Structure 1
Amino acid sequence: MAKIAVDREHGLLTAEFSGLDKLWAIKSRLEVPLAHVRGATHDPGIAREPKGIRVGGTHIPGVVTAGRFRRDGERLFWNVRNPSKAVVIELADDEAYDRLVIEVEDPRATVALIEGVISRPPGGS
């Protein structure tokens, strides 16, 4: 599971992974400029979609999907054990990934946080 944080002052969205999630994903942290975040959705059904080719990480069907994947030219980062808590974060083309698929504690609150921040102009309240 990831902890998502938004730093408006530095214009960053951060996903922190801990415990076995770091091991499975071969990554402990992702940072993305807020200007490159297009949106976020709660999408439990994404776990049923094809994952593509695993580039690095772990994929044990029904248990865990974590790490880097490529599917139809799309670059994805996954870190999901419980699909009901999956949030999909769409990124701009100039990022290392096109989409992040990340399990979080409260998907609705995470989506609201991200959507609320990207809908406000910099310096807005």
Structure 2
Amino acid sequence: MNTVSIIGAGLVVRPHGLDRLWAFRRKIDIPLTHVRGATVDPEARHERRGIRAPGLAFFGKYVGSFHRDGERTFWNVSGHGTAIVIELTDEHFARLILSVDPAGGVADLVDRINNSTSV
């Protein structure tokens, strides 16, 4: 699970618990000018991931960097939570695919990301 927030002019993703260890990241900071948009996508967790390097993949949990078709994607998805996909440009990752707490106002978060990037 992750906490995703907008702080100032940036998007901040913080993995929770052991996901920080498995992802080799405590947080990801991205300028909002590099965020193309975000969507809620419950089917994203079933998408082909590619080659894992570094990270973890077992029993429906995918955490870390995955490479496919020349594109690097950061995954932190588990069997529970709502999956969101954040599209990026000019960043280390082309996309972030994340599980977030559905009670945390996922639709509002996606709207805030999309509205912040269109300004």
Q: Percent identity among equivalent residues? A: 41
**Amino acid of the structure 2 residue aligned with 1:82:** G
Distance 2:48 2:16 in 1: 26
Task: Give the TM-score normalised by structure 2.
Answer: 0.90
TM-score (norm 1): 0.86
Q: Which runs of 4+ in 1 moved over 4 A?
A: none
> Which residue type is aligned with residue 91 of structure 1?
L
Deviation, structure 1 residue 57: 0.8
- Find the structure with the greater CA-based Rg: 1
2:21 corresponding residue in structure 1: 23
Q: 1:54 aligns with which of 52, 55, 73?
A: 52
On the 8 A contact 1:47/1:83 being kept in 2, the answer is no
Match of 1:105 in 2: 101
Task: State the shift of 1:83 in Å.
Answer: 5.8
Contact 2:2 2:100 in 1 (8 A): yes
> What is the aligned-residue RMSD (CA, Å)?
1.4
Checking the alignment, whether the CA contact within 8 Å between 2:81 and 2:100 is kept in structure 1 is: no
Q: How many equivalent pairs are there?
A: 116
The letter of the residue matching 1:4 is V
